[in-house]
């Protein structure tokens, strides 16, 4: 019986790459994101549209997240994997970033991950056989910040705490939780790194990027592990990006 995976932010970038990889591996994949047309493009690109379920979702809205998982429960009766991937960044230093923009990033990156994890956790806890796996997209920024990124950096540091907490609370129920921290994948969000971005010393420099297919394969590896085995944290990045020794 195929495993059921829910992917947020599945309409583009890392989310789309992971969705295509899991579809190729035989998963039934629930594609969640704000833009229905982009989700349908992902389903069509996978060449297995019948194995994909498109559910337009705004992870920052509790009612939307609840509706997503109610649809999953009605269609499949269970959840085996959640990839908490949806995220946004609004640049600006701590003095210039507006409270509204801060809240928008926090609501999407952190609260959205919390809401999705809570819904998935309840299903995984109550289903039979019991258990499942939650994989959070942390980012390199869960370790080191880029300039002018207080909201994004704070949410990604917080995702690390959320990952650890879910890992602990999930033990009695066979629920594993891990985190993948990604640096400079060649997505719409990441490809600007190759064009030149601000460095810690104020200069602008191009940074190396890498194919997101390698991220997708890493997430597939994590997703296919038996539930008695967990990748707690994984960092995957362009080999020579300015991370080790950054600044």
Six token digits for residue 46? 């996978």
**pLDDT value, residue 246:** 62
State which fold the 4-237 domain adopts: Rossmann fold (3.40.50)
Decide: residue 107, CB within 10 A, 0-12 exposed, 13-18 middle, 19+ buried: middle
Distance (Å, rounded) from C-alpha 25 to C-alpha 3?
A: 10
Distance (Å, rounded) from C-alpha 104 to C-alpha 243?
A: 27
pLDDT of 191 above 80: no
Mean pLDDT of 142-163: 96
pLDDT in tens, 64-73: 999 999 999 9
Tell me the catalytic residues. 152
Q: Prior bond to 129 cis, omega within 30?
A: yes
Domain map (residue ranges) of the chain: 4-237
**pLDDT value, residue 245:** 72
């Amino acid at each position: 019986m195929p495993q059921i995976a829910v992917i947020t932010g599945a309409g583009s970038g890392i989310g789309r790459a992971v969705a295509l990889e899991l579809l190729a591996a035989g998963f039934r994949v629930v594609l969640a994101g704000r833009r229905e047309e982009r989700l349908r493009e992902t389903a069509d690109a996978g060449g297995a549209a019948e194995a994909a379920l498109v559910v337009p979702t705004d992870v920052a809205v509790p009612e939307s997240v609840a509706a997503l998982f109610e649809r999953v429960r009605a269609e499949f009766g269970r959840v085996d994997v959640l990839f908490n991937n949806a995220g946004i960044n609004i640049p600006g230093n701590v003095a210039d970033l507006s409270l509204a923009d801060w809240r928008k990033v926090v609501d999407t990156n952190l609260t959205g991950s919390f809401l999705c994890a809570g819904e998935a956790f309840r299903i995984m806890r109550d289903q039979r056989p019991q258990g499942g796996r939650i994989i959070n997209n942390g980012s390199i920024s869960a370790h080191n910040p880029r300039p002018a990124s207080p909201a994004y950096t704070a949410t990604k540091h917080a995702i690390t705490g959320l990952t650890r907490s879910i890992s602990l609370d999930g033990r009695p129920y066979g629920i594993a939780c891990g985190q993948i921290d990604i640096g400079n994948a060649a997505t719409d969000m990441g490809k600007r790194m190759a064009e030149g971005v601000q460095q810690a010393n104020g200069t602008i420099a191009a940074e190396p990027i890498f194919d997101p297919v390698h991220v997708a394969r890493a997430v597939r590896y994590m997703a296919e592990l038996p539930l008695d085995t967990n990748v707690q944290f994984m960092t995957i990045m362009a080999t020579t990006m300015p991370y080790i020794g950054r600044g």
